C-alpha cells in the first residue's frame, strides 16, 4: 500500500476543478478534523508542513488526541473564502466572520486558546479570495503566501488573489422580437403593403385577386410551425381553361379530347415478354479452344 501524500488529494481536487474552468478555484471552506476518515467528500486535510513534518495539532505532553486543519476546494455556485484569520481566545469574532467548521470524532476537541475564523462570501461578490493554505514551522517563510498567525508550533499561511471573473453567458434572444422582424409588412404607414390570401379570405373558384387581412398574417407566432411553402399562394386556373369555363354548357368540352385507358388497355399496350433477353441469357458461352 503506497503512502498518501498530504498534498495529493488537494492537488487532485484542484486539477479536477481547473479542468472545468481552466482557472484557479478559490477555497469554499476551512475546517478542523480529527482524522481524514471524519471528513466529507471534497475536503482535504493538511497532513504535513512545507518541510515535510507531520502537521497534527494538539499532539504533545498530556494530549491524547490530535486534529488537522482542512480545506475545501469545490467549484460551482455557493460561497468562497474571502479571508482567514487566527484570533486569540479573548478576541471578539469580527462581523461577517465565522469559526472554522469541526468534523471531530467522539472525545476529540479543538483548543480554544487560538481559533481560526473565515469570512465566506457568495461567488462573484469578492475581489480578493483565498486559493490555498499551507503550514510551516515558525521560522520558515513560504514564498507567495501571507502569514495569518501561529497556533502551537505551526505558522499558518494563505495564498490570496483576485477572484476569477465568471464567464459571461449569452443573452437569451427575444423570440417575439425575432418573429416581428420576419413580418413582410413595412413600418412606413404610407408605403404600399404586400398582401396574400388566407383561408379566412378565400374567394370563389377562378378568382384572380385575393387579399390577406392584417390580423391574419401567416407569420404570427401561433402559425409559425403550421405554415407551408404553398401558404399565401392563390389557387387559380390558367387563362386558357378560364376561357373554356366561361362558355356555359361547353365549359368542359376540352375534356372530350382526353383518352381514358383502362388497366387492361395499359397492360396490353406496354406488354413485353422479355423473350430476347431470356434467350440470350440461356445461351452457353463459346468453348475455349
Mean pLDDT over 122-133 rounds to 90
Mean of per-residue pLDDT scores for the chain: 75
Contact 24, 131 (CB under 8 A): yes
Q: What confidence category does residue 207 fall into, taking pLDDT thresholds of 50, 70 and 90?
A: very low
What pLDDT score was predicted for residue 182?
A: 62
What pLDDT score was predicted for residue 22?
A: 54
pLDDT at 49 over 80: yes
| The domain over range 29-162 is classified in CATH as 3.30.420.40 | no
Of residues 13 and 95, more confidently modeled:
95
pLDDT at 19 over 90: no
Mean pLDDT over 250-263 rounds to 70
What pLDDT score was predicted for residue 181?
A: 61
Mean pLDDT over 113-142 rounds to 92
Q: Per-domain residue ranges for the chain? A: 29-162
Radius of gyration over every alpha carbon of the chain, rounded to an integer in angstroms: 43
Of residues 203 and 108, more confidently modeled:
108
Close Cβ partners of 274 (under 8 Å, ≥ 6 residues apart): none
pLDDT digits (tens, 9 = 90+) for 277-286: 888 888 866 6
pLDDT at 212 over 80: no
pLDDT digits (tens, 9 = 90+) for 51-107: 999 998 876 555 567 889 999 988 777 899 999 999 998 899 999 999 999 998 888
Of residues 210 and 137, more confidently modeled:
137
What pLDDT score was predicted for residue 252?
A: 60
pLDDT at 8 over 80: no
Of residues 43 and 14, more confidently modeled:
43
Of residues 74 and 173, more confidently modeled:
74
Mean pLDDT over 131-156 rounds to 93
What pLDDT score was predicted for residue 60?
A: 59
CA distance 164 to 27: 12
What pLDDT score was predicted for residue 37?
A: 86
Amino acid at each position: 500500500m503506497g503512502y498518501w501524500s498530504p498534498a495529493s488529494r488537494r492537488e487532485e481536487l484542484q486539477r479536477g476543478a481547473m479542468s472545468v474552468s481552466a482557472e484557479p478555484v478559490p477555497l469554499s471552506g476551512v475546517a478542523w478534523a480529527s482524522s481524514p476518515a471524519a471528513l466529507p467528500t471534497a475536503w482535504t486535510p493538511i497532513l504535513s508542513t512545507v518541510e515535510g513534518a507531520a502537521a497534527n495539532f494538539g499532539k504533545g505532553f498530556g494530549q491524547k488526541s490530535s486534529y488537522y486543519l482542512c480545506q475545501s476546494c469545490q467549484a460551482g455556485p455557493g460561497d468562497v473564502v474571502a479571508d482567514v484569520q487566527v484570533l486569540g481566545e479573548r478576541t471578539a469574532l469580527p462581523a461577517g466572520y465565522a469559526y472554522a467548521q469541526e468534523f471531530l470524532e467522539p472525545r476529540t476537541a479543538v483548543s480554544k486558546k487560538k481559533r481560526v475564523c473565515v469570512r465566506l462570501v457568495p461567488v462573484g461578490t469578492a475581489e480578493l479570495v483565498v486559493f490555498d493554505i499551507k503550514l510551516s514551522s515558525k521560522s520558515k517563510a513560504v514564498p507567495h503566501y501571507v502569514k495569518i498567525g501561529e497556533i502551537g508550533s505551526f505558522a499558518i499561511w494563505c495564498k490570496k488573489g483576485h477572484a476569477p471573473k465568471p464567464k459571461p453567458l449569452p443573452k437569451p434572444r427575444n423570440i417575439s422580437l425575432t418573429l416581428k422582424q420576419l413580418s413582410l409588412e413595412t413600418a412606413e404607414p404610407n408605403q404600399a403593403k404586400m398582401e396574400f390570401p388566407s383561408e379566412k379570405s378565400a374567394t370563389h373558384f377562378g378568382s384572380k385577386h385575393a387579399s390577406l387581412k392584417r390580423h391574419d398574417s401567416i407569420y404570427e407566432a401561433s402559425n409559425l410551425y403550421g405554415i407551408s411553402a404553398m401558404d399565401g399562394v392563390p389557387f387559380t386556373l390558367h387563362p386558357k381553361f378560364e376561357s373554356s369555363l366561361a362558355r356555359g354548357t361547353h365549359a368542359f368540352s376540352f375534356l372530350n379530347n382526353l383518352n381514358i385507358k383502362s388497366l387492361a388497355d395499359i397492360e396490353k399496350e406496354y406488354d413485353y415478354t422479355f423473350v430476347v433477353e431470356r434467350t440470350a441469357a440461356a445461351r452457353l458461352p463459346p468453348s475455349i479452344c
